[in-house]
Amino acid sequence: MDKVRTGLIGYGKVAHTHAFALSTLPESHFVAVCGRSLARAQAFAGQYGIQAFDDVQQMVTAAGVEAVAVCTPHPAHARPAIEAAQAGAHVLVEKPLAASLQDCDAMIAAAREAGVKLGVISQRRLYEPVKRVKAAIEAGKIGRPILGMVVMLGWRDRAYYTSDPWRGTWDLEGGGVLVNQAPHQLDLLQLFMGPVDELFGYWGNLNHPYVEVEDTAVAVLRFQNGGLGSIVVSNSQKPGLYGKVHVHGENGASVGVQTDGGAMFIAGMSGVLEPPVNDLWTVPGEEHLLAQWQAQDRATFEAVDATRHYHRLQDQDFLQAILEEREPLVTGVEGRKVVELITAVYRSQRDGRPVAFPLDAEKGAEQFDGRLGPC
């Protein structure tokens, strides 16, 4: 089998998840890691028997890297991704694609100009209950999707925010619950409902005074297909409850998935506590399947390490996309849609009005789309 020479940019907690995948996938020859601190990169490299670098272009050239996974903090995604693309490597980026639309657009343009693939991690698309929801919508089982709802209620404590120096800051994290915890559910909402037409939102820091960023956000949406939607996401519910995406159709039938339960997964700090399951299914004639599917999904959960399994599947898809010369499961353009939703919430609160889609990137805006608080 042909193999892709792979490398990592970043050596933090989630980098180990990708390192496991890249060192075990048959499509991968894992050869290098790169980071700002050569000493830390060398320590990481020693665990996997690979080379260490502190310069992206040098890593791509000297180690012959053909594809990289970017695992740096969100505002630091763009620069190494662009450098890797310009050096000729395909680029897979941890979620979200970036913290700003300006960075997203620069990354997409760099990949396009270099003729390389750009993808973004959204491994929950590969959850079995998520695939059932998508297939039911595509098959017309609920008619036109007319109401989409995201509810994600979790908890982050002081220990979480102090576990890495970049957490909880505008400059280094780029945002709070919207940027870090909610991208997966926001991705599924737009995947199920289609393009957004308009959004009105609010955000706030309700019970984490020791961080700068928002811990809670709400929004209402109108989609291009005429449907409506709502978003409620928060890190303020202790100990952490669930993440759900539900879609209701024009024929009265509804489908849904609980992507997270028990407590929210934290890369490198906790495991996935409960299996993802379909928690809502009223498609006529299929209601009885819900219990059967839940049993199947619990069995699958017990058989795999969910903290690694679905990341590995998406890493594998990206490498296969390179070998098969096709688009990956989640492209950079798809990843931009999530950042667009996030940005719209910040801008809506800043401007006190609905935000129309599509959104252009703001350039040189001191208020960073309104997420630094009032002027």
* Domain residue spans of the chain: 4-123+320-331, 125-304
CATH match of 125-304 with 3.60.20.10: no
Q: What is the pLDDT of residue 264?
A: 55
Instruction: For the chain, list residues with pLDDT below 70.
Output: 263-272, 374-375
- Where residue 194 falls (left for φ over 0; alpha for ψ -120 to 50; beta otherwise) is left
75, 13 Cβ separation under 8 angstroms? no
Is there a contact between 224 and 166 (Cβ–Cβ < 8 Å)? no
* Helices 38-48 and 13-24: angle between axes, nearest 10 degrees: 40
Q: What is the CATH number of domain 4-123+320-331?
A: 3.40.50.720
- Model confidence pLDDT, tens digit, residues 202-250: 999 999 999 999 999 999 999 999 999 999 999 999 888 899 999 999 9
- What DSSP designation does 167 have? T
Give one word for 337, left, alpha or beta, with left for phi > 0 and alpha for psi -120 to 50.
alpha
Dihedral of CA atoms 222, 223, 226, 230 in degrees, nearest 10, equals: -50
The per-residue pLDDT for 375 is 41
CA gap 15, 48 in Å, rounded: 12
Residues shown for the chain: 375
Q: Report the pLDDT value the prediction gives residue 186, as an integer from 0 to 100.
A: 98
Q: How far apart, in whole angstroms, are the C-alpha atoms of residue 166 and residue 299?
A: 37
Tokens representing 124 are: 């929950």
Question: Whole-model pTM above 0.85?
Answer: yes
In contact, 225 and 217? CB cutoff 8 Å: no
**φ and ψ at residue 195, rounded to 5 degrees:** -60, 145
- Report the sign of the C-alpha dihedral through residues 158, 164, 165, 169, in that order: negative
In this chain, the answer to whether the domains covering 4-123+320-331 and 125-304 adopt an identical fold is: no
Q: How far apart are CA 241 and CA 237, in angstroms?
A: 7
Would you give the DSSP letter of residue 180? I
